[in-house]
C-alpha cells in the first residue's frame, strides 16, 4: 500500500467514512451518482494500490459488462425491444438497468478494497475490542484467515516440491491428488491454529471482564474536522435523497431526476480521503524540495 494520509487518522474516522460511502453506493441508483461513485472510489483505489489497481479495475469493469449483458436475458421488462433472444425480448431498459446493477457491484468492490487497505486488524480491534471482545477476536481471525491460508499454501507447495512431490508438469489426476494433500494440511493447520489462539486468549483472560487496553490512536483536531465535514456532506446528501434528487427508474421506462447541487456535495464526501492523500503527498514533496 502506498503511503496514505487518511490511514493515519483515527479508526473511528476511517470507519464512519467507509460506512457512509458503502451505504450510499448501494442505495443510490441514479446514473450520475453511480458514475460519481465509481470515479471517486476508483481514484482512491488507484492512489492506494498504484499501477496494480488498474488490472483489478479492468476486471471489475469486465464484470460490470457481463452483468449488464446478462440482465436482459432474465429481465424482459422494457418498452424498447432491441432484438429477441431465444424468443424473449432483449430490451434497452433492462440493459441499462443491468449497467446500474453492475455499477453498484463495482462501487461496493472498490470501497471494500479501500476499506481492507485502511482498516487494519488493529484498528478494528481498537473500535470493537471493548464493545464485543469475543466477536472482535473472531472477526479479526476471519479477516486474516484467507491471507494466512494463501501464504501457508505456498509454503506447503514449496516444501512438497523440495522432496519431489508436486510440480506444474504433472498429469491432471496427480495435480488433483497433490491439491487434496495440500488442502488436508491447510485444514489441519487452520483448525489447530484456531484452538491454540482460543486457548491462548482464554489463558490471558480475554473477554472475562472489563479491561483497559493500550491505544496508539488518539482523536485529534484533524479527526474532528474530517468527521464534521463528512457528517455535513452526508446530511446534505441524505436530504437530497429524501427530496428525490437521487431517484431513478429503469423499467418499464427510463427516467432519472435532474442533476442538482446535491451531486457535487456527494462527490465532496466521497473525495475526502483523496483530498487528504493528495494534500499529504504535496506537503511531502514541498518539504523534500526545501532540503
Among candidate residues 186, 203, 220, the one where a domain is terminated: 203
- Please check whether residues 28 and 76 belong to one and the same domain: yes
Q: Is residue 217 part of a domain?
A: no
Query: 146-193, pLDDT tens digit by residue?
Result: 677 778 888 888 887 787 776 666 677 777 777 788 888 888 877 787
Residues 263 and 189 in one domain: no
For residues 49 and 104, state if they share a domain.
yes
Q: Which domain holds residue 150?
A: 130-203
| Distance in angstroms (rounded) separating the CA atoms of residues 242 and 103 | 22
Instruction: Assess whether 63 and 139 both reside in one domain.
Output: no
By CB atoms closer than 10 A (0-12, 13-18, 19+), residue 236 is: middle
What pLDDT sits at residue 167?
63
The answer to whether residues 55 and 199 belong to one domain is no
Query: How many structural domains is the chain composed of?
Result: 2
Ranges of beta strands (E only) in 86-192 are 88-91
C-alpha to C-alpha distance for 115 and 27, rounded to whole angstroms: 18
pLDDT tens for 10-61 read 888 999 999 999 999 999 999 999 999 999 999 999 998 888 889 889 999 9
Say if 186 falls within a structural domain: yes
Q: Does residue 214 lie within any of the structural domains?
A: no
Both 39 and 93 in one domain: the answer is yes
Grid coordinates given for 251:
423499467
Residues 174 and 149 in one domain: yes
- Statement to judge: residues 179 and 136 lie in one domain: yes
- CA dist 117 and 283 (Å) reads 22
- Whether residue 263 lies inside any domain: the answer is yes
- Tell me: do 24 and 89 sit in the same domain: yes
- In terms of domains, do 17 and 83 share one? yes
| DSSP string for 227-265 | HHHHHHHHHHHHHHHHTTTT-EE-SSS-EEPPP-THHHH
Answer yes or no: do 108 and 234 share one domain. Answer: yes
Instruction: Write down the pTM of the prediction.
Output: 0.73
Whether 246 is in a domain gets the answer yes
Residues 191 and 161 in one domain: yes
Distance CA 190, CA 152 (A): 10
Amino acid at each position: 500500500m502506498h503511503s496514505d494520509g487518511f490511514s493515519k487518522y483515527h479508526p473511528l474516522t476511517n470507519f464512519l467514512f467507509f460506512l457512509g460511502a458503502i451505504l450510499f453506493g448501494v442505495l443510490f441508483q441514479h446514473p450520475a451518482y453511480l458514475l460519481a461513485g465509481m470515479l471517486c472510489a476508483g481514484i482512491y483505489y488507484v492512489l492506494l494500490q498504484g499501477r496494480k489497481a488498474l488490472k483489478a479495475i479492468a476486471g471489475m469493469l469486465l464484470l460490470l459488462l457481463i452483468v449488464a449483458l446478462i440482465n436482459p436475458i432474465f429481465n424482459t421488462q422494457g418498452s424498447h425491444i432491441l432484438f429477441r433472444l431465444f424468443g424473449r425480448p432483449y430490451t434497452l431498459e433492462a440493459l441499462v438497468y443491468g449497467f446500474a446493477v453492475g455499477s453498484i457491484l463495482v462501487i461496493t468492490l472498490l470501497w471494500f478494497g479501500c476499506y481492507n487497505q485502511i482498516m487494519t486488524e488493529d484498528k478494528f480491534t481498537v473500535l470493537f475490542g471493548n464493545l464485543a471482545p469475543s466477536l472482535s477476536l473472531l472477526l479479526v481471525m476471519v479477516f486474516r484467515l484467507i491471507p494466512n491460508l494463501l501464504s501457508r499454501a505456498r509454503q506447503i507447495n514449496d516444501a512438497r516440491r523440495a522432496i519431489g512431490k508436486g510440480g506444474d508438469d504433472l498429469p491432471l489426476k496427480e495435480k488433483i491428488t497433490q491439491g487434496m494433500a495440500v488442502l488436508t494440511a491447510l485444514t489441519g493447520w487452520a483448525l489447530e491454529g484456531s484452538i491454540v489462539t482460543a486457548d491462548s486468549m482464554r489463558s490471558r483472560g480475554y473477554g472475562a471482564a472489563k479491561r483497559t487496553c493500550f491505544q496508539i490512536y488518539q482523536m485529534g483536531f484533524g479527526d474532528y474536522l474530517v468527521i464534521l465535514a463528512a457528517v455535513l456532506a452526508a446530511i446534505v446528501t441524505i436530504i437530497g435523497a429524501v427530496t428525490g434528487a437521487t431517484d431513478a427508474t429503469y423499467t418499464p421506462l427510463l427516467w432519472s431526476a435532474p442533476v442538482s447541487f446535491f451531486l457535487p456535495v456527494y462527490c465532496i464526501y466521497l473525495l475526502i480521503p483523496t483530498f487528504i492523500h493528495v494534500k499529504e503527498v504535496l506537503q511531502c514533496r514541498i518539504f523534500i524540495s526545501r532540503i
